[in-house]
Amino acid sequence: MSDSLQKELADKIKELENKIEEAFEAGKEKFSYELKQGKAIFSEEVKKLHQKEVKNLLIYLFNVPLGLYISAPIIYAIFFPILLLDLFVTIYQWICMPIYKIPKVKRGDYITFDRHRLKYLNIIEKVNCLYCSYVNGFISYISEIAGRTELFFCPIKHATRLKKTHQHYNEFLDYGDYKNYKSEVKRLRSEFNEVYKKENEPKKN
C-alpha cells in the first residue's frame, strides 16, 4: 500500500471518529445528561421519569422466554474462565510487557461499569448489564494487549483479507515486503519504546 493511500485512509478514519464523537455528544443532549468525572448525571426530573419505566420483577420473569432460562446458566458459567483469563492477562501485562518496553493498556479505557445506574432497569437487567460490561469490555481490553504484542513481535499483515482487525493492524507491513521488514520492525519497536519511556518517566513535583 502506498504512503499516499495510507494517509488518505487515515484521514477518512479520523473523519469517521469525529462523526462518532459528534453523535455521542448529541446523545448526551438528547437524553438530558452530562458527564462529571466520568459519571453520567441526570436531573431529578429525568430520574423520576426513568423510575416510572422500571419493569415489575415478577411480570418481567413471567415474560422471559423458556429458552433464556435454559441458556442463562451456560452464559454465566463463562464468567469463571474469563476471570481466570483476566488473572493471567494481568500478570502477563505487568511482568512481560515492561521487559519489552511495550506500553501497558489502561483497563479503564475498555472496561467500565455505568449502565447499572440507570433507574429504568430492574435488578436482573442491571446484573445482566454488569456482566456484559465486564465480559465485552475485557475482550476489547485483551484484544488491545494482544494487538500491541503482535505489533512488537510480528507486525506483518496476512495474505488474505480479515473481516475485523485490531487498531494497530493498519501499521503492519504488507505480506511479502521482505525489503522493509527488518528496518520497519526496528522502527515500530523504537516508537513503542519511546511511548513506554514517556509513560514511565518519574513525575516531577
Q: Give the separation between CA 197 and CA 179, rounded to whole angstroms.
A: 29
DSSP 173: B
What is the number of alpha carbons within 13 Å of residue 126 lying toward its C-beta? 12
- pLDDT for res 194: 87
Instruction: Say how far residue 72 (Cα) sits from the centre of its chain.
Output: 24
What's the rounded Cα separation, in Å, for the pair 139 and 204?
35
Kindly list the domain boundaries of the chain, sorted by start residue.
78-199
Q: Give the separation between CA 171 and CA 154, rounded to whole angstroms.
A: 11
Share of the chain above pLDDT 70, in %: 82
- Predicted confidence (pLDDT) per residue in 86-129, tens digit: 999 999 999 999 999 999 999 999 999 988 888 889 888 999 99
Across all residues in the chain, what is the average pLDDT?
84
Top mean-pLDDT range of 11-15, 44-48, 67-71, 178-182: 178-182
Q: Is 172 helix (H, G, I), strand (E, B) or coil?
A: coil
pTM score > 0.85 for this model? no
User: What pLDDT sits at residue 2?
Assistant: 57
pLDDT tens readout for residues 5-61: 666 766 676 776 666 666 656 655 666 676 776 777 776 777 777 777 777 778 878
Indicate the DSSP class of residue 156.
B
- Report the b/e string of 120-149 with b at 16+ CB within 10 A: ebbeebeebbebebbbebbeebbbbbebbb
Least confident of 16-30, 149-163, 168-182: 16-30
CA dist 76 and 84 (Å) reads 14
At 112, phi and psi to the nearest 5? -140, 150
Specify the pLDDT at position 25: 60
